[in-house]
């Protein structure tokens, strides 16, 4: 796979750069290389790398990389706080403006595709979910299980159900919560979306779409490296967090490593289950990008993406 046809960038192109791709595809390294080459600021677009306490397990850029170029919206949220797409959109908009004001190129990078669609297509103005409604929805999900819960949503809101990633419990919960909170289908609320913060035509975008076998091998190797770099210590520390937000505990591998620390499985079992869950997640990310970001140029490797974005051989 090579980068799809796109106009060659001019040397003075200062438009923001958007990089979306699955976990372990080399996004962070690409963003750093571009930041160093183009006087850029790297802005996080990953829903879990925002959390303090998860550096190794979420593959947040190491401190050495953060010292080589400015990095924003990494590790700035306590584990006790929920974090929404709306909050990210506001913060990312501020970072884009600040980077531009300082003469730098904003480089937004991450695997949370919803952040990019919110940025370039707009985000529906949906009121926050009241705690009582959220608790009731989560209890219903736990009682029914995800497939039956999704089917219950379909019976009430077939329009939104048809557009959801039904393997993602947070997305199904969000649709249920919006219906309970507003009495209106999420799909219709989204249809009333205000203008985007950044039009896609005003940005340089690329999606990393590696070959699946290469990606899966990288996932397995990276998780083994994470264990050597302290992922187990992070999981142990997370066991002592007071009332962590459910979003903070969705870091891939966290549940398996915590289960190991509780004596529920061996480290080898935890490693295999975590790697398997990560591979499945990456597969969903690839499918989502094909379906929702099909207009973006694609590259199989970070090197291809770098050439496409800079025009350099």
Q: Nearest to residue 111, comparing CAs of 180, 67, 48?
A: 48
Q: Name every residue whose Cβ is closer than 8 Å to that of residue 254 and which is 6 or more positions away in sequence.
A: 54, 57, 235, 238
Q: Is 21 annotated as a binding residue?
A: yes
Q: Is 28 annotated as a binding residue?
A: yes
Q: Is 27 annotated as a binding residue?
A: yes
Q: Is 22 annotated as a binding residue?
A: yes
Name the helix (H) or strand (E) containing 96. helix 85-101
**Residue 305: other Cβ atoms inside 10 A:** 28
Alpha carbon separation from 101 to 98, 252, 264, 309 (Å, rounded): 5, 36, 52, 22
Longest distance between any two alpha carbons in the chain, whole Å: 57
Q: Is 283 annotated as a binding residue?
A: no
Name the helix (H) or strand (E) containing 304. helix 302-310
CA distance 2 to 205: 15
CA distance 251 to 265: 18
Q: Is 217 annotated as a binding residue?
A: no
CA distance 147 to 169: 9
- Give the residue numbers of the binding site for ATP: 21-28
- Give the residue numbers of the binding site for substrate: 23-28
- Give the residue numbers of the binding site: 21-28
């Amino acid at each position: 796979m090579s980068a799809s046809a796109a106009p060659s960038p001019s040397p003075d192109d200062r438009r923001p750069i958007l990089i979306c791709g699955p976990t372990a595809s080399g996004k962070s390294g690409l963003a750093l290389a571009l930041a160093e080459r183009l006087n850029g600021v790297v802005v996080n677009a990953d829903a879990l790398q925002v959390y303090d306490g998860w550096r190794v397990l979420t593959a947040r850029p190491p401190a050495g990389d953060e010292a080589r170029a400015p990095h924003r919206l990494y590790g700035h949220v306590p584990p006790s706080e929920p974090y929404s797409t709306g909050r990210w959109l506001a913060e990312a908009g501020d970072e884009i403006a600040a980077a531009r004001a300082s003469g730098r190129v904003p480089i937004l990078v991450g695997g949370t595709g919803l952040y990019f669609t919110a940025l370039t297509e707009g985000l529906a103005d949906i009121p926050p979910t009241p705690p009582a409604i959220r608790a009731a929805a989560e209890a219903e999900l736990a009682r029914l299980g995800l497939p039956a819960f999704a089917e219950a949503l379909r019976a009430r809101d077939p329009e939104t159900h048809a557009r959801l990633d039904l393997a993602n419990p947070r997305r199904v919960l969000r649709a249920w919560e919006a219906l309970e909170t507003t009495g209106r289908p999420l799909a219709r609320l989204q249809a009333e979306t205000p203008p985007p913060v950044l039009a896609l035509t005003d940005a340089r975008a690329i999606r990393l779409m590696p070959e699946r076998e290469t990606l899966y091998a990288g996932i397995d190797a990276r998780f083994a490296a994470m264990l050597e770099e302290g992922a187990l210590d992070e999981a142990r520390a997370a066991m002592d967090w007071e009332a962590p937000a459910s979003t903070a505990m969705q870091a891939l591998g966290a549940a398996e490593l915590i289960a190991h620390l509780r004596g529920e499985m061996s480290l080898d079992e935890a490693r295999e289950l975590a790697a398997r869950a990560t591979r499945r997640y990456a597969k969903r990310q690839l499918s989502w990008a094909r379906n929702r970001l099909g207009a973006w140029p694609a590259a199989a490797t970070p090197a291809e993406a770098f050439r496409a974005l800079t025009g350099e051989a």
